[in-house]
Structure 1
Amino acid sequence: MAITSANQLELLQTAEAVAREKMIDPSLVVEAMEESLARAAKSRYGAEMDIRVAIDRRTGRATFTRVRTVVEDEELENYQAELTVEQAKQYLTDPVIGDTFVEEIPPVELGRIAAQSAKQVILQKVREAERDKQYEEFKDRAGTIINAQVKREEYGNVIVDVGAGEAVLRRNEKIGRESYRPNDRIRCYIKDVRREQRGPQIFLSRTAPEFMAELFKMEVPEIYEGIIEIKAVARDPGSRAKIAVISYDNSIDPVGACVGMRGSRVQAVVNELQGEKIDIIPWNEDVPTFLVNALQPAEVTKVVLDEEAERIEVVVPEEQLSLAIGRRGQNVRLASQLTGLDIDIMTEEEESKRRQAEFEERTKLFMDTLDLDEFFAQLLVSEGFTNLEEVAYVEQDELLVIDGVDESTAAELQARARDYLDEQNRVALEKARELGVEDSLVNFEGLSPQMVLALAEDGVKTLEDFATCADWELAGGWTTVDGERVKDDGVLEKFDVSLEEAQDMVMTARVLLGWVDPDDLNPEVEEEDAEASEEEAEA
């Protein structure tokens, strides 16, 4: 098949037909044709030649050209596509490196194999254009809800027709044991859109918390308008969910707006989620208050928050325990997801027993170390003293408020506490030195002898060793593994060293060793000083 005037217009007509059918830009099809014809020409004239084809968008005439580029003499490798400056002088006037010499060559005769190859190139280009169009269409729709039609089900995964292509609703993204038949209408959340080798992959979900949030946005105009905001969502798909909302208009109740007249709004969401029960909770900046709301319908007696560990202890009456925990732990699990905290629930009786055990433990500590009788030790604990350091170094006035304690008694108490601590420190220092601890670590400011011993037992024996430690290795922390928070024990955690304190000590050690320039630690301060100097100079 030769490219003659008889079939030149057919190229454009074919391109337009394919473009209409695939709903892509006709110029993309023409470019694919140009590439396929150029490939066919290379098979006829030589693969090393740089042959290009241009199809006139009005007449359909295909022009075949051979392009040769001017290069340095020593860089000449491809004699079919490159020229030296001397060689180019017979074709060009004053040629320079980078110039190109273009000459038209006769059109090729497309044989059966070349025509088939050209067809494959065109089909491939059209498929790539379709994939790009589909990806561009859906990449910005991730995070929204789509209404689609079920095509088929494969191994529990539902294949959905989304118009320009297909999307997949995986079996673990379906609610409960949902099943669909071909041509069923389905509403899903576009969870992810990825560009892959086999084309764009669109992943849908009906179990994502965001799906519920988007459904409420569709049902509640105040959410769509931004008057009410959804702050957090936690779901046990198909069973129960909790959603926290806040209103930025004092005249609008966020919970009432989401429930709707006679529950019409929330019921529409419940029906879409296969009867999933939804608790709508008012969001509060105060974490304990928010948690009390999140544990509804259970009543909470007391809340103790540990912000550093991101844990919270909740005390409930005995009769409320099962309600707070929920069936198979569902209520407390959803409340934990909603607040982002680990929740420990205990009854009033359990909390009382724990407090009693702590009271007895501290009483025994003061009796053994300060040589006190039980009554006097209990007085110290009742006044809030928890350890020997507090007794030894507290202002004496705080001891004088205890019944029966005068100045001499207070002085004696503090002397005993300090003597005991000094002896403990001496013993700890001896043990640490026996383990090989160097003076550089012993004399480091901020580390007590007890801390030095703990570090030595963990293999940290020099200032260099200490400087290589991470803050969480010293103070402890929490790591999320497979969705669960796991405790990392710190070497100095029992001494109540915070992450910030650990970080400061490690950075101080690195500065002392010359590993870190102290000026690099406070760039903002440097900038402020520089600005102040400039202002003074201008003044």
Structure 2
Amino acid sequence: MAITSANQLELLQTAEAVAREKMIDPGLVVDAMEESLARAAKSRYGAEMDIRVSIDRRTGRATFTRVRTVVEDEELENYQAELTVEQARQHLSDPKVGDEIRDEVPPVEMGRIAAQSAKQVILQKVREAERDRQFEEFKDRVGTIINGQVKREEYGNVIVDIGRGEGILRRNEKIGREAYRIGDRIRCFVKDVRREVRGPQIFLSRTAPEFMSELFKMEVPEIYDGIIEIKAVARDPGSRAKIGVISYDSSIDPVGACVGMRGSRVQAVVNELQGEKIDIIPWNEDLPTFLVNALQPAEVSKVVLDEEAERIEVVVPDEQLSLAIGRRGQNVRLASQLTGLDIDILTEEEESQRRQAEFESRTQLFMDTLDLDEFFAQLLVAEGFTNLEEVAYVELDELLVIDGVDDGTAEELQARARDYLEEQNRKALEAARELGVEQSLIDFAGLTPQMIEALAKDDVKSLEDFATCADWELAGGWTTTNGERVKDDGVLEPFGLSLAEAQDLVMTARVQLGWVDPEELAGSAEDEGEEGDAEAEEASDGETGA
């Protein structure tokens, strides 16, 4: 068909109708039409030609223009869309490279195939514009609650109509055994919005901890206003949850505000979460104190925190053990998620047995190495001595406080301890040398003979080998695999080497070998110190403001 003004005006009206229906810019639809007409013109005049189409936004008149670009002589490749400066003089008085020469060409006759192709181009452009609009609209709603209506169910996943788009609530994001019928109203948390080939994918969730946080924000004005902050949330969706809250106004009780009058506020959240029981816990910066609160309703006798390993040991009365662990380990699991620590729970009897075993092993150590009788060895352990190094190198006065120990006895104890340690060091060095350890590693300050022997057994036999070690390979550490923390054993971990000490030793070795410039190292340390001071000042200002 010929592109008459009537046809073009009809296309323009169609573009406006499509734009209104899809809620996109009409200009995008017209641009798509221009591109489709240009493709049709290229099929008529030749694919090598640069044909451009412009549609008047008021009249709908389409103008077909052939464009030729001025290029250097040696760059001329496409004779249909390019021309040289000399050739351009026939059209322009003073042509320059990059100038364009435009000539209007007659409108094309659009056959059935060309019209169908044009329609496909327009539909594709409209779909892309619609997807871009949806993505831009919903990407800023990540982390918020959205209301929708159940549209259909596919393989256990619920498709939710959320207005100008569709969201997907996967099976593992539903609470328990929730079942929905078509048309049901549903409230979900927008977990993620991704731009994909088939259009923006909006992923919803009802099991995310953030969903509970947002529900409390809707029900508790103090949280919305920032007076109360939710510091941590742990959920077993549909069953039980724990939430840690803190108030920045001393006159407001964070737990009471979240519970509400006669439990009205928390009950509204519970109803939305299918009866999920919620423990509201006051937040405390002191982790052991916070953990004691988190393990409620169980009572805790004692807490021992290992910050480096991010583990905490909790001692509870024998009759409180099942309560602390909870049904199927639920209570301790949620407390662990809330604090971010691995929790070991012991009864008072178990702890007593362990302490007794440690006492007996240390007593036996002193009996075997210092040639002492059992009573005297027990006195040393009771005074807090745990190893031979403490006995050998402690101030003499600390041994004299033990009943029955005079100057002579104390000196004899230390002499025996030092003799034993020196003999052990000698044997360790001999074993290390037999394994092929180089003198550079033996002379390196900070490593004991026993450490050198352990390194040699792990095939670290020179200072260069040592300098290539990672700190966690020496001191050990923890990695998270599939959501579970896994222990990485360090070569020197049995000797009580901390991660910070391992870092210092490795960096010292690298400096000695010339791998690291000491001045650069000092400069980076100063920068870190300044950053730490700045963060401390900000924290201090924040506390003052609060």
Does residue 397 of structure 1 match 2:397? yes
Pair 1:308 & 2:308 matched: yes
Once the two structures are overlaid, the 10-residue window that deviates more, 206-215 or 405-414, is: 405-414
Aligned partner of 1:156: which letter?
Answer: G
Please list, as runs of the form range in 1=range in 2, the aligned pairs for 1:417-428 lying within 5 A after superposition: 417-428=417-428
* Amino acid paired to 1:140: D
Q: In the TM superposition, what is the alpha-carbon distance from 1:527 to its structure 2 partner?
A: 7.9
Measured in 2, the distance between the counterparts of 1:526 and 1:181 equals 63
Structure 1 position 160, deviation (Å): 0.6
1:5 is matched with 5
Please say if 1:413 is aligned against 2:413.
Answer: yes
Q: Which amino acid aligns with 1:407?
A: D
Aligned counterpart, 2:466: 466
Residue 251 of structure 1 corresponds to 251
* Structure 1 stretch displaced more, 376-385 or 237-246: 376-385
Q: Post-superposition, which runs of at least 4 consecutive aligned residues in structure 1 deviate over 4 A?
A: 524-528
Q: Deviations over 1:176-226 (max 9, x none)?
A: 111101000000000010000100000000000000010000000000000
Distance 2:91 2:441 in 1: 80
**Distance (whole Å) between structure 2 residues aligned to residue 442 and residue 93 of structure 1:** 86
| 1:119 alignment partner AA | K
**Distance across 2 between alignment mates of 1:36 and 1:87:** 31
- Cα distance in 1, alignment partners of residues 48 and 499 from structure 2: 65
Give the superposition deviation at 1:376: 1.0
* Alpha-carbon separation, structure 2, partners of 1:234 and 1:193: 23
* 1:370 match: 370
Where 1:78 maps in the other structure, the secondary structure is coil
Distance of 1:80 and 1:298 partners within structure 2? 85
Q: How many equivalent residue pairs? A: 528
1:524 to partner: Cα distance: 4.9
Q: Please give the alpha-carbon distance, in whole angstroms, between the structure 1 residues aligned to 2:527 and 2:477.
A: 33
Counterpart of 1:150, as a letter, is V
In structure 1, the partner of 2:514 is: 514
Q: Are the equivalent residues in 2 in contact too, given 1:311–1:341 (CA < 8 A)?
A: yes
Q: Give matches, 1:60-79, under 5 Å.
A: 60-79=60-79
Note if 1:275 corresponds to 2:275: yes
* 1:202-257 residue CA offsets vs partner (Å, 9 max, x unmatched): 00000000000100000000000000000000000000000000000000000000
Given that 1:40 and 1:110 are in contact with CA atoms closer than 8 Å, whether structure 2 keeps it comes out as: yes
Give yes or no for contact 1:146–1:190 (8 Å, CA) kept in 2: yes
1:478 deviates by 0.3
Q: Using the alignment, how far apart are the partners of 2:248 and 2:371 within structure 1?
A: 60
**Alignment partners' CA distance in 1, 2:454 and 2:527:** 40
Matches within 5 A, 1:259-408: 259-408=259-408
Separation in structure 2 between the aligned mates of residue 66 and residue 522 of structure 1, nearest angstrom = 66
**Structure 1, gaps ≥5 residues long:** 529-539
Structure 1 residue 525: Cα displacement? 6.6
Residues 97-176 of structure 1 mapped to structure 2, 5 A cutoff? 97-176=97-176
Q: Is contact 1:68–1:100 with CA below 8 Å preserved after alignment?
A: yes
What TM-score do you get using the length of structure 2 for normalisation? 0.95
Between the aligned partners of 2:495 and 2:7, the Cα distance in structure 1 is: 88
Give the CA deviation at 1:7: 2.5
> What residue number does 1:16 align with?
16
AA matched with 1:425: N
Q: Distance in 2 between matches of 1:429 and 1:173?
A: 59
Mean Cα deviation higher: 389-398 or 291-300? 389-398
Matched AA of 1:27: G
Distance across 1 between alignment mates of 2:167 and 2:229 = 30
| Structure 1 residues 525 and 157, CA gap change in structure 2 (3 angstroms) | closer
Shift of 1:523: 2.4
Q: CA RMSD in A?
A: 1.2
- Shift in Å at residue 6 of structure 1? 2.2
Please report how far the alpha carbon of residue 97 of structure 1 lies from its aligned counterpart in structure 2 after TM superposition: 2.2
Q: What secondary structure, in the 3-state scheme, does the structure 1 residue paired with 2:79 have?
A: coil
Q: Is the 8 A contact 1:519 1:526 kept in 2?
A: no
- Larger CA deviation: 94-103 vs 487-496: 94-103
Query: Structure 1 vs Structure 2: percent identity of aligned residues?
Result: 86
More moved, 162-171 vs 98-107: 98-107
What CA distance in whole angstroms lies between the structure 1 residues aligned with 2:56 and 2:523? Answer: 61
TM-score, length-normalised on structure 1? 0.96
Aligned residue in 2 for 1:232: 232
Which of 465-474 and 100-109 deviates more? 100-109
Give, as a single letter, the amino acid of the residue that structure 2 aligns with 1:402.
Answer: I
Question: Pairwise mapping of residues 198-209 of structure 1 onto structure 2 (< 5 A)?
Answer: 198-209=198-209
